[in-house]
C-alpha cells in the first residue's frame, strides 16, 4: 500500500483527564477489546488491584496513578468494517498536574484526544486545563463520561456543565440507559438525532474480560427496559432538538465533541469508543515547519511536509529505565511524513548531524517489538538516540524543522546532591540523562558548584520521580534541600549582572544555556520590574 493509504488507516490519539478518572483503566480496556491482551489488569478493590500494562514505573504501580506517558500500538477492526484494519496509536498521559509538561508534549504528537470525565465529579481543574491546550492546538476531542456503573450525576447536568464551563457542545452518539449506578446499556443516536438501536451489556467477573453485548430494536428495548429506555430516548431527543447533532466540521474545529457514556472498569461502551475513533477521528495530516527555522536557514528548507514526501519525524519524549534488562534510552518519535525504515540514515535538524536508526521499536508498556517500517501517525521508540531531546526534528532528504516544544515555567525548586561523594560520577551521569529527558529542569551556578545543582519543576512530585529513578536506575541515593524561591524568569547576560546584586534573587544557567533568574515571590519580582524597567525579565513558557 502507498504511504497515503497507510496514513489514512492510522488513528493517533491521547487519553486526557483529571487524576483518578480512569485513564489507565480505559487504556487497558481498549487494548482488551482490540484482543492485544486477554485480561484487563485492573480489578475491584485496592487490595487486589493490579497495575495496568501501560503503567511501567514502580512509582506508578505503588501509587496507582500514571506519572509518565506510555505509548501503545495495535490494529483494530471495527464491526462491519471491510478491508485493512485500522492502526491505533494510543498514548496514555499523566493525569497529575505535576506532570502537565509531559502531557503537553504528548498532545503535540497526536491527532485527537479522548477527554475522560468522572460521572460523579464532572469537570475538574486538570480536565479544564488540558481542554484549553487541546483547543489552542485545534485538537478534536471525543468526550467519554466514565464510571457510569457508579452513583453519579444526571447526564443532562453533565452535558450542561461541559457547555457552560468550556463552551464545547457535546453531541451524543451513545446515550446511557439506566441512571448512574444502574448502567444497563447504551442507546445509539444516529446522525439525525434519532435513537435507532439499543446495546445491552452483560457483566463479567471483575470486568476482566470483554463484556457481552445484546442488540435490540427500539421497540424491543422499550419492552425490556421500560421507564429507563423511555427516559434515555426523551433525553437524547431533547438534546437533538436543541441542535446537539454530530457535525464533522464542528468536531474537527474543536467546537463540538461526540459524547459516549462508558464504564472502563466493566468494559461497557469501550469498543463503541474505538469504533467512533476509527469512524470520525482525523487521520494524520501534513505539518508546517517552524517559521523561525525557515527564516534562519541558509539552505533551501521545506515549509510543510506532505504525508507522501520524504521521511520526517518529531521527538516528543525521551525516556530511560523502561526495561531494567536494557540500560538504554528511548526517544519516542511521531512519524510526520514518508516511510520510516529501520536502519535508515537520517539527519538531526537541530545539530545537522547524521545518524543511523539501527534499533527502532514499538512499545506496549514494557513490552518491545522491533519495527521494520512505520508510516505517518505511527509512534516508535528510537533506542540510544542520546542526542535527541523533546521537540527535535529528524528527517531524510530535503531539510525540514518543526516548531519546538515549550518548556513550562517551574514553580518549585530544590538543591539535589548525592548522599555519598563516592557516587559523584554516577550522580553526574544520572543527572545528565534525566535532565535530557525533561524529568526536571537543571539549573547551575558557580556559587553552588556542579555537585549541588538546583532542580526546577512544575510540581513537587517530579522531585520524587527524579530521586526514585536515580536510586533504581543508577544506584545513587540523593538528598534534597528546599531553597527560598517560587518564581523563575528568563534574562540575558547584561541584565543578569544587575539582577544578581538584588536581594532575594539568584542567577542560574539552564542546561540549554538560557540564563534563569529565581525570585523569592511574585511581589519581589514585581518590585524589581517596577524599579528596573530596562532589565530583561521574561516568562519562561513559549507558545
> Which segments are annotated as binding site for GTP?
92-96
| CA 256 – CA 194 distance, rounded (Å) | 18
All cell numbers assigned to 376: 505517518
CB 330 within 8 A of CB 361: yes
Query: Quick check: 142 and 258 in contact, CB under 8 A?
Result: yes
Distance between CA atoms of 455 and 412, rounded to whole angstroms?
A: 8
Helix, strand and coil content of the chain, in percent to the nearest 5, comes to 30, 30, 40
Residue 395 and residue 431: Cα distance in Å, rounded? 29
The length of the chain in residues reads 543
Q: Where are the alpha helices (DSSP H) in 268-385?
A: 270-280, 291-296
What region, left, alpha or beta, does residue 80 occupy, with left being phi > 0 and alpha being psi -120 to 50 degrees?
Answer: left
Please name the residue that has the C-alpha cell 538546583: 454
Sign (positive or negative) of CA dihedral 77, 365, 15, 209: positive
User: Which amino acids are annotated as binding site, given as ranges?
Assistant: 92-96
- Distance, in Å, from the CA atom of 1 to the CA atom of 377, rounded to the nearest integer, reads 15
SS3 state at 538:
strand
Sequence-distant (≥ 6) Cβ neighbours of residue 452 within 8 angstroms: 415, 416, 417
- Helix/strand/coil for 88: strand
CA distance 499 to 535: 8
Pairing verdict, β 256-261 and 141-146: parallel
Q: What is the dihedral of CA 206, 202, 274, 197, to 10 degrees?
A: -160
Closest-CA residue to 113 (of 85, 86, 91): 91
Quick one: cell of 255?
467546537
Amino acid at each position: 500500500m502507498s504511504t497515503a493509504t497507510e496514513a489514512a488507516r492510522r488513528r493517533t490519539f491521547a487519553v486526557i483527564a483529571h487524576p483518578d478518572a480512569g485513564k489507565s483503566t480505559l487504556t487497558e480496556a481498549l487494548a482488551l477489546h482490540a484482543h492485544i491482551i486477554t485480561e484487563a489488569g485492573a480489578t475491584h478493590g485496592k487490595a487486589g488491584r493490579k497495575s495496568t500494562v501501560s503503567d511501567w514505573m514502580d512509582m506508578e504501580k505503588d501509587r496507582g496513578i500514571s506519572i509518565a506517558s506510555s505509548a501503545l500500538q495495535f490494529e483494530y477492526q471495527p464491526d462491519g468494517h471491510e478491508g485493512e484494519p485500522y492502526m491505533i496509536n494510543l498514548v496514555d498521559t499523566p493525569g497529575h498536574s505535576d506532570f502537565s509538561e509531559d502531557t503537553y508534549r504528548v498532545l503535540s504528537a497526536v491527532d485527537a484526544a479522548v477527554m475522560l470525565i468522572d460521572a460523579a465529579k464532572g469537570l475538574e481543574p486538570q480536565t479544564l486545563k488540558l481542554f484549553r491546550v487541546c483547543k489552542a492546538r485545534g485538537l478534536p476531542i471525543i468526550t467519554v463520561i466514565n464510571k457510569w456503573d457508579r452513583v453519579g450525576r444526571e447526564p443532562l447536568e453533565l452535558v450542561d456543565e461541559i457547555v457552560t464551563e468550556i463552551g464545547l457542545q457535546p453531541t451524543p452518539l451513545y446515550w446511557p440507559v439506566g441512571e448512574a449506578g444502574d448502567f444497563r446499556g447504551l442507546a445509539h443516536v444516529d446522525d439525525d438525532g434519532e435513537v435507532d438501536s439499543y446495546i445491552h451489556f452483560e457483566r463479567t467477573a471483575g470486568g476482566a474480560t470483554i463484556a457481552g453485548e445484546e442488540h435490540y430494536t427500539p421497540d424491543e428495548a422499550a419492552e425490556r427496559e421500560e421507564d429507563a429506555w423511555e427516559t434515555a430516548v426523551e433525553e437524547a431527543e431533547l438534546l437533538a432538538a436543541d441542535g446537539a447533532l454530530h457535525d464533522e466540521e464542528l468536531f474537527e474545529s474543536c467546537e463540538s465533541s461526540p459524547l459516549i457514556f462508558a464504564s472502563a472498569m466493566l468494559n461497557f461502551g469501550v469498543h463503541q469508543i474505538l469504533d467512533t475513533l476509527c469512524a470520525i477521528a482525523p487521520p494524520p495530516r501534513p505539518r508546517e515547519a517552524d517559521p523561525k527555522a525557515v527564516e534562519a536557514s541558509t539552505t533551501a528548507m521545506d515549509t510543510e511536509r506532505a504525508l507522501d514526501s520524504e521521511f520526517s519525524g518529531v521527538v516528543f519524549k525521551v525516556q530511560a529505565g523502561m526495561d531494567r534488562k536494557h540500560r538504554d534510552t528511548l526517544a519516542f518519535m511521531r512519524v510526520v511524513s514518508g516511510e520510516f525504515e529501520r536502519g535508515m540514515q537520517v539527519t538531526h535538524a537541530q545539530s545537522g548531524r547524521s545518524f543511523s536508526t539501527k534499533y527502532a521499536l514499538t512499545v506496549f508498556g514494557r513490552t518491545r517489538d522491533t519495527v521494520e517500517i512505520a508510516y505517518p501517525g505511527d509512534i516508535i521508540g528510537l533506542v540510544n538516540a542520546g542526542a535527541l531531546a523533546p521537540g527535535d526534528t529528524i528527517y531524510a532528504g530535503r531539510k525540514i524543522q518543526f516548531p519546538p516544544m515549550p518548556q513550562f515555567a517551574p514553580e518549585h525548586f530544590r538543591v539535589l546532591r548525592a548522599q555519598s561523594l563516592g557516587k559523584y560520577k554516577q550522580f553526574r551521569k544520572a543527572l545528565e540523562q534525566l535532565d535530557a529527558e525533561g524529568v526536571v529542569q537543571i539549573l547551575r551556578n558557580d556559587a553552588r558548584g556542579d555537585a549541588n545543582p538546583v532542580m526546577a519543576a512544575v510540581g513537587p512530585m517530579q522531585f520524587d520521580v527524579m530521586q526514585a529513578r536515580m536510586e533504581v536506575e543508577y544506584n545513587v541515593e540523593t538528598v534534597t534541600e528546599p531553597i527560598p524561591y517560587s518564581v523563575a524568569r528568563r534574562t540575558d547576560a547584561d541584565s543578569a549582572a544587575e539582577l544578581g546584586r538584588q536581594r532575594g534573587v539568584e542567577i542560574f544557567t539552564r542546561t540549554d544555556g538560557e540564563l534563569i533568574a529565581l525570585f523569592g515571590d511574585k511581589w519581589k519580582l514585581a518590585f524589581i520590574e517596577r524599579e528596573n524597567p530596562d532589565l530583561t525579565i521574561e516568562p519562561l513558557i513559549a507558545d
